[in-house]
């Protein structure tokens, strides 16, 4: 057993949907969250830039004595998770893309899978590569949806115009006879109800955070480092701590009392 915290990071506030799943499934664990709100979004940045940013953040989390890390940011997952595991070989690094792929492969019946995410996640083709690695006959249909993040952050998840934006983005995917749709961006679970309304009951929505939390729990047990009780959670950002507090209400369903701002470029 090991009561040190689990680190979770994202380019911004979206990773709070992963925090929520970890809190639910692994409620003895303490969490240290970092959101890179000074440099968000990563989705439009290059691989080199994203890798440099992720290395700085992992250094920061290791200084906070985390025992394991979940990379909630799909853009980091898609661009450089293998490289990060090579740079930090002694740290358990769990992603969200691999768990999302695992869930989708066990969910699909017809082998036709959709993926939605930021521009960089889609452009990286990482989901497609992993989904078809052992299933050459599977078909993967990708669509970048850059308006979804600002829609969520504006709190528009229940507005009619959000349904129209979703319909616009998904109209081609809906013609592809997919039975499974991966929400390849941490913000998208907030749009679950609206997405479900557009895609209907015949398409399963996959939130990779479910499996990421489950998989982290298994790895902590395997290594005998699961916690016996939570010592509480800490939240850090590189900018705008007040905004993180506001967003936490929507993402976690409760209020965070303290968010600490740090200068991540120093790490």
How near is the Cβ of 14 to a second copy at its closest, in Å? 13
Q: Per DSSP, what are the bridge partners of residue 180?
A: 113, 204
Contact 59, 267 (CB under 8 A): yes
Kind of pairing, strands 112-117 and 180-184? parallel
How near is the Cβ of 167 to a second copy at its closest, in Å? 8
57 or 68, CB closer to a second copy? 57
Q: How would you write 116-147 as a 3-class SS string?
A: EECHHHHHHCHHHHHHHCCCCCCEEEEEECCC
Q: Which of 185, 190, 195, 244 is catalytic?
A: 185
Integer angstrom CA distances of residue 58 from 45, 55, 225: 18, 5, 19
Tell which residue, 178, 168, 185, 162, has the closest CA to residue 78.
Answer: 185
Tell which residue, 94, 115, 93, 95, has the closest CA to residue 104.
Answer: 115
How near is the Cβ of 80 to a second copy at its closest, in Å? 15
Instruction: Reply yes or no on whether 73 is catalytic.
Output: yes
Q: Given the rule CB under 8 A, which residues bind a second copy?
A: 37-40, 44-46, 49, 146-147, 149-151, 153-154, 156, 159-161, 164-165, 168, 239-240, 243, 265
Q: What are phi and psi of 198, to 5 degrees?
A: -80, -40
147 or 225, CB closer to a second copy? 147
E strands, 45-104, are 68-71, 92-94
Contact 7, 208 (CB under 8 A): no
160 or 224, CB closer to a second copy? 160
How near is the Cβ of 161 to a second copy at its closest, in Å? 5
7 or 241, CB closer to a second copy? 241
Distance CA 143, CA 125 (A): 11
Instruction: Reply yes or no on whether 145 is catalytic.
Output: no
168 or 218, CB closer to a second copy? 168
Q: Which of 16, 18, 71, 73 is catalytic?
A: 73
The catalytic site residues sit at 73, 185
């Amino acid at each position: 057993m090991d009561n040190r915290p689990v680190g979770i990071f994202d380019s911004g506030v979206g990773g709070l949907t992963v925090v929520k799943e970890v809190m639910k499934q692994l409620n003895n664990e303490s969490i240290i969250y970092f959101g890179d709100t000074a440099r968000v979004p990563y989705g439009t940045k290059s691989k080199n830039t994203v890798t440099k940013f992720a290395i700085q953040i992992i250094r920061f989390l290791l200084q906070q004595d985390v025992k394991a890390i979940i990379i909630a940011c799909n853009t980091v997952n898609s661009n450089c998770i293998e490289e990060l595991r090579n740079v930090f070989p002694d740290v358990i690094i769990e992603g969200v893309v691999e768990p999302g792929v695992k869930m989708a492969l066990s969910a699909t019946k017809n082998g036709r899978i959709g993926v939605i995410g930021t521009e960089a996640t889609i452009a990286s083709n990482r989901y497609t590569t992993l989904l078809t690695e052992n299933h050459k006959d599977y078909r993967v249909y990708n669509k970048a949806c850059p308006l979804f993040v600002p829609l969520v952050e504006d709190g528009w998840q229940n507005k009619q115009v959000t349904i129209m934006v979703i319909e616009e983005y998904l109209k081609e995917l809906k013609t592809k006879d997919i039975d499974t749709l991966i929400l390849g961006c941490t913000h998208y679970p907030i749009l679950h109800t609206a997405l479900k309304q557009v895609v209907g009951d015949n398409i399963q929505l996959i939130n990779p955070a479910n499996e990421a939390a489950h998989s982290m729990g298994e790895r902590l047990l395997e290594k005998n480092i699961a916690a016996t009780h939570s010592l509480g959670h800490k939240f850090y950002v590189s900018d705008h701590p007040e905004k993180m507090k506001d967003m936490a209400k929507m993402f976690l369903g409760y209020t965070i009392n303290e968010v600490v701002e740090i200068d991540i470029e120093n790490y």
